[in-house]
Amino acid sequence: MMPGLLDNGRRQLLFWVFVLVCGEGLAAGAGAVATRGLFNALHSEAMLATDLMVLLALSGLVIAACRVASRTRGEKMGQAYALEIRQALFNQGTFMSVSDVSARRTGYMSLRFVGDLTAFKNWLGLGLPRLLAAMVLIPLTLFVLGWMHTPFLVVVAPLYFTALLTIGLGGMKLPRLQRRVRSRRAAIAADMAERMPIAPALGQLGRRSNESSRITRRSRRLITAALDRITQAEWLKSVPDMISGMAALGVIWIGSRDGIDTGTIAGGLAALGIALKPMRDLATVWDYWSSFQAAHRKCVAALERTRRRSSAGGKTLRPQPLKIKFRQLNLPPVNGLSGSIKAGARVLLTGDNGSGKSRLLRALNGLDKPDSGAITLGGKPIEALSQGTVRRCVLRISDDVPILRGSLRKALTMGLDRRPDDDELLMAAAAAGLAPTLETLGGLDSKIAEGGRNLSEGERVKIALTRAMLADPGIILVDACAGQLDTQGEQALRNLLATSRATIMVVKGAGITSLTFDQILDLNSTQLLQQSDAEAANHELPSMSYG
């Protein structure tokens, strides 16, 4: 759900912004009154009134203080709202399936956390406060002018009305222009996010010129759209400047015609300055609102995407060997899978490339959601289990193990319920074959790049293997990429699977050459076959590389 714009204390902050804006307006009006009195004194060669001089000086100080305070509170509102949206988007991502997340281009995903949040922050932190300022200061200007000399109001009000109407009508083009800019900027961001990690390979493939031309074409289209938007916005911001000269001329002409004293004319001109900036800011408000609308629509769509589970809560299971049951499971390309795997069984998962082996393991790991049908673990639907329960009960050994930038210690212990001491951690890592990695990198405090990019595929598999050794899962899933393990890693994996009481599912081609299986799950025919005792005793998974 999209966080409320004025929830969690932001309504009170907006109220204080409004109070401060009103204070700024009153101080500006007082300054205009003081200016009038002082000019009259100068004109009559009388002594300048001390109270008017103090009032004029204080009005500037009050305006400055109110402006800083309102801007600070506006920024606080915007940042707080951006934080809530950032958390909502991330939480939504943790509940989405891997397939849905991977279907989105990285550039588009990053824009939700950067460009869209800037739009939200700017609207709440800058747009709304400036709109409030205009709503207060423009009427205040007209009131002060009317109070000083009613004909001033008669000549200035139509000009202000014309300016506001022009800004209002002209601003209606900004949402369309803003959407076009954002769409083209998103396309470039997605292209760059996709290409930069593989830029060296693209150069080696002779794609540098082609990809550079693509970036140039899209950038030129973005430049055109950005210039159209900024031109429209700047024209609107210039409207108050166009009418300010005419308004000042009108005040001077009326004052001369009616024989008004110089002080009143000077005060009227000072009053005109009160409304100039707020009117100019209205065009910016339109721009912030247009950007907010576009970002809001995108974020609502992101937060309404299907989740693989409804909430962070759910049922729990003890981390013990669990029975797995499939009931008319449709998880493309797997369709109509039914059958059960007894607790503690060893299952061989076979199938051609693209038959859905890895996706089925991700679904068992709680990371993907079937289109229909059900998966039950220990008699409970997997989508009804809490995330913590799935994390403790199901462990997948693969090279796409989640690794955040940080220390090797952090990479080895992510997802564990308990934090092992360094001696235990070093012993498990060495048993998994990570001793050379520890020596090369410099120990547990060595830095790992995001996603483990400075590690080989085999080393990433060994990190998953170390986590499995330190945990006590009820189900162990071994993906085919475990075939990247070296001799020591294979031996560690065989030892783990031979001694574990967990229900085990191994993808054919995972490099395990001496493990007997109780059942075979063939995804080519979507059949779960029960082997006889003799077959199970004699069956070995052949050593083969996964194509």
pLDDT at 106: 54
Q: What angle do CA 107, 111, 113 make, to 5 degrees?
A: 125
Paired tokens of 85:
């949206």
pLDDT at 534: 38
Query: φ, ψ for residue 325 (rounded to 5)?
Result: -135, 135
Q: pTM here?
A: 0.68
pLDDT at 324: 93
In CATH, the number for domain 10-303 is 1.20.1560.10
pLDDT at 98: 66
Query: φ, ψ for residue 530 (rounded to 5)?
Result: -90, 125
pLDDT at 110: 56
Paired tokens of 222:
């973005």
Q: Return d(Cα 349, Cα 157) in angstroms, integer.
A: 80
Q: How many CB atoms lie within 10 A of CB 251?
A: 26
pLDDT at 113: 55
Q: Is 181 exposed, middle or buried (0-12, 13-18, 19+ CB in 10 A)?
A: buried
DSSP assignments along 387-428, one per residue: HHHHHHHEEEE-TT----SEEHHHHHHTT-SS---HHHHHHH
pLDDT at 547: 26
The answer to whether the beta carbons of residues 195 and 211 sit under 8 Å apart is yes
Q: Which of 16, 140, 11, 24 is nearest to 72 (CA)?
A: 16
* CA torsion, ordered 420, 425, 428, 432, to nearest 10 deg: 130
| CATH superfamily of domain region 324-538 | P-loop containing nucleotide triphosphate hydrolases (3.40.50.300)
Q: Which positions of the chain have pLDDT values less than 50?
A: 107, 311, 532-547
Query: φ, ψ for residue 355 (rounded to 5)?
Result: -80, -10
CA separation, residue 286 to residues 20, 237, 443 (Å):
22, 10, 55
Please report where in the chains the tokens 């859905």 appear, as a residue. 356
Q: Is 324-538 the same fold as 10-303?
A: no
The answer to whether the beta carbons of residues 424 and 378 sit under 8 Å apart is no
pLDDT at 114: 58
Paired tokens of 367:
């990371």
Q: Which residues contact 28 (CB under 8 A, 6 or more apart)?
A: 59, 63, 137, 140, 273, 274
pLDDT at 105: 54
Please report where in the chains the tokens 């031979």 appear, as a residue. 498
Tell me the three-class secondary structure of 224-292, residue by residue. Answer: HHHHHHHHHHHHHHHHHHHHHHHHHHHHHHHHHHCCCCHHHHHHHHHHHHHHHHHHHHHHHHHHHHHHH
Q: Return d(Cα 64, Cα 131) in angstroms, integer.
A: 18
Domain extents for the chain?
A: 10-303, 324-538
